């Protein structure tokens, strides 16, 4: 399994993702510079956290013009796995690869803390190693992570089961008090209709080793790696 | 030279915590008549050309493609023809 981690000017979680991929999981890793004209044969492309192009105008608004983004769009159309984390989720929404938008946290604060996520879908590559309704403990770090979509889009997402993660309490209850940013329906992560493009605000790469206080994030990376293995075997 | 003055605002249905916070600040200062505050963006765009009609079409396209995000924002603009270069 070859992972590609995209680096825009202003990206800051690229090395954290890279570390988990090659040091923790022993998978093949390459970094994709925003000007790269091809994806170097990657099976999964990760858009990591940070502030791509300084988040000028709006979060993710300028990153979508990077040459590498055109290739990522084509890759997603072919069914390739694309995974946006934090700023990467914002970029995917601006690029139109995922519906909706991420706006300023309801509290106006930059929230940097542990959250609990209820896993709502386990039939996609990104969560294949998780149990249905499993509770993952994953940290967030963002100022603009409040998920918004118009009512029609939101009900379409719900009907098609495109909500993958919801903020919940430690017992898995999806309650307003567990929502750190005001996201509609406690949404922390969504997938496209085809199931190959995932966007999520929490940072699984920051909880993939015991030293960091948790390993639940590793499950998601392992899910992607194992899903590729399944395809090879079948 | 033509100057476009673009104003981008959060859609009425979008929660605007910045606006709410500014409203609270104004109330603290005694401006209790304030019923709502919405915080948006002001963008100035200077364009080559002299046709106001054409400039309108171009700026409209700029707003749709980049300056505003139609999911969360509305935009409006006015055109100042024969703007003198500073």
Domain CATH for B55: 3.30.1280.10
Domain CATH for A162: 3.40.50.880
Residue B85 falls within a domain, yes or no? no
pLDDT of A163 higher than 80: yes
Average pLDDT over residues A6-14: 95
**Helix residue ranges, H only, A42-142:** 67-77, 87-94
Question: A106, A101, A47: which is closest to A71 by C-alpha?
Answer: A47
Expressed as residue numbers, the domain containing B70 is 2-80
DSSP at B70: T
The upper half-sphere exposure of residue A100, i.e. CA atoms within 13 Å in the direction of its Cβ, equals: 33
Model confidence band, residue B85 (pLDDT cutoffs 50, 70, 90)? low
- Counting one residue from chain A and one from chain B, the pairs whose CB atoms sit within 8 A come to 35
Model confidence band, residue A233 (pLDDT cutoffs 50, 70, 90)? low
Residue B34 falls within a domain, yes or no? yes
Annotated active-site residue in A86, A93, A168, A207 = A86
CA dist., res. A221 & res. A192, Å (int): 18
pLDDT of A232 higher than 70: no
> How many folded domains does chain B comprise?
1
Average pLDDT over residues A190-197: 97
- Check residues A130 and B1 and name the one with the higher pLDDT: A130
Question: A103, A91, A96: which is closest to A145 by C-alpha?
Answer: A103
- A203: annotated active-site residue: yes
- Restricting to B residues 7-36, those with a Cβ less than 8 Å away from any Cβ of A are 10, 13-15, 17-18, 21
Model confidence band, residue B1 (pLDDT cutoffs 50, 70, 90)? confident
Average pLDDT over residues A155-162: 97
Question: A82, A10, A9: which is closest to A47 by C-alpha?
Answer: A82
Residue B61 falls within a domain, yes or no? yes
Expressed as residue numbers, the domain containing A39 is 2-233
CA dist., res. A234 & res. B21, Å (int): 56
pLDDT of A37 higher than 80: yes
pTM score = 0.93
Residue B42 falls within a domain, yes or no? yes
Please tell me the predicted confidence (pLDDT) of residue A227: 87
Please tell me the predicted confidence (pLDDT) of residue B24: 95
Please tell me the predicted confidence (pLDDT) of residue A148: 97
CB contact under 8 A, B72 and A103: yes
Model confidence band, residue A231 (pLDDT cutoffs 50, 70, 90)? low
pLDDT of B84 higher than 80: no
CB contact under 8 A, A150 and B13: yes
CA dist., res. A192 & res. A58, Å (int): 22
Confidence check on the interface: ipTM exceeds 0.90, yes or no: no
- Restricting to A residues 67-96, those with a Cβ less than 8 Å away from any Cβ of B are 93-94
Residue B11 falls within a domain, yes or no? yes
A-chain residue closest to B11, CA distance: A150
């Amino acid at each position: 399994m070859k992972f590609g981690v995209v680096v825009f000017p202003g990206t800051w979680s690229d090395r954290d993702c890279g570390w988990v991929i090659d040091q923790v999981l022993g998978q093949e890793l390459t970094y994709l510079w925003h000007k790269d004209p091809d994806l170097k044969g990657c099976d999964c492309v990760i858009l990591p956290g940070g502030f791509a192009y300084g988040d000028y105008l709006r979060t993710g608004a300028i990153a979508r013009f990077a040459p590498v983004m055109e290739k990522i769009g084509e890759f997603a159309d072919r069914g390739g796995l694309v995974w946006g984390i934090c700023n990467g989720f914002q970029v995917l929404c601006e690029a139109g690869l995922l519906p909706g938008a991420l706006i300023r946290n309801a509290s106006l604060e930059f929230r940097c803390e542990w959250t609990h996520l209820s896993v709502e879908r386990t039939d996609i590559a990104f969560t294949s190693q998780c149990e249905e309704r499993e509770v993952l403990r994953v940290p967030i770090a963002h100022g603009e992570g409040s998920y918004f979509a118009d009512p029609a889009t939101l009900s379409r997402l719900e009907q098609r089961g495109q909500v993958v993660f919801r903020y919940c309490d430690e017992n898995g209850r999806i309650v307003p008090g567990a929502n750190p940013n005001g996201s509609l329906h406690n949404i922390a992560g969504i997938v496209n209709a085809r199931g190959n493009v995932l966007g999520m605000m929490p940072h699984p790469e920051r909880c993939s080793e015991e030293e960091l206080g948790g390993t639940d994030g590793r499950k998601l990376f392992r899910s992607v790696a194992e899903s590729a293995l399944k395809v090879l075997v079948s | 030279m033509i100057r476009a003055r673009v104003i981008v605002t959060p859609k009425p249905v979008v929660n605007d915590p910045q606006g709410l916070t500014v409203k609270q600040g104004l109330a603290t200062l005694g401006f209790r008549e304030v019923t709502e505050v919405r915080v948006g963006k002001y963008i100035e765009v200077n364009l080559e050309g002299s046709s106001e009609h054409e400039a309108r079409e171009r700026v409209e396209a700029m707003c749709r493609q980049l300056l505003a995000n139609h999911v969360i924002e509305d935009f409006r603009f006015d055109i100042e023809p024969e703007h003198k270069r500073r």
